Amino acid sequence: MRSTKAASAVERLKERTGNDGYALVRNADETFQLLDRSGKTPETVGERLPLDEFVAFVKTLGPQVVRRQTKSDIAFEKQLIKKK
C-alpha cells in the first residue's frame, strides 16, 4: 500500500511533537490530509495533497530533529562543496 510512506511521516510527527491526536486521512481521489484530533472537534491541518507533497508538508511541521554529524561527515561535505 502506498500510504505507508504517509503513515510513517505522521508517526514521526507524533513522536516529534508528543501529540498523539494527529491522524492520516486518505481520500477517494488518492489525496492525503492531516487531522488534529487533540481538541473536542477534529481540525484539518493543511489541505488535500498528493502523496509526495503530503510527506514533504508533514516533515515541515513540529520541531525538527537535528542530525548528528561526525568529524568525517563534516570533512566529506566540505570536499563536496569544493568540487562544485
The DSSP code sequence of 3-71 is THHHHHHHHHHHHHH--TTEEEEE-TTS-EEEEE-SSSS-EEEEEEE-HHHHHHHHHHSSPPPPPP--H
The single-letter code of the amino acid at 54 is F
Tally of domains in the chain:
1
Residue 1 in this model has a pLDDT that exceeds 80 = no
Q: Is the pTM of this model over 0.75?
A: no
Residue 65 confidence (pLDDT): 79
Domain region containing 33: 4-83
pLDDT digits (tens, 9 = 90+) for 3-54: 689 999 999 999 999 889 999 999 999 899 999 998 888 888 889 999 999 9
Q: Tell me, what's the pLDDT at 84?
A: 60
pLDDT in tens, 67-84: 888 999 989 988 888 766
* CA 12, chain centre distance (Å): 7
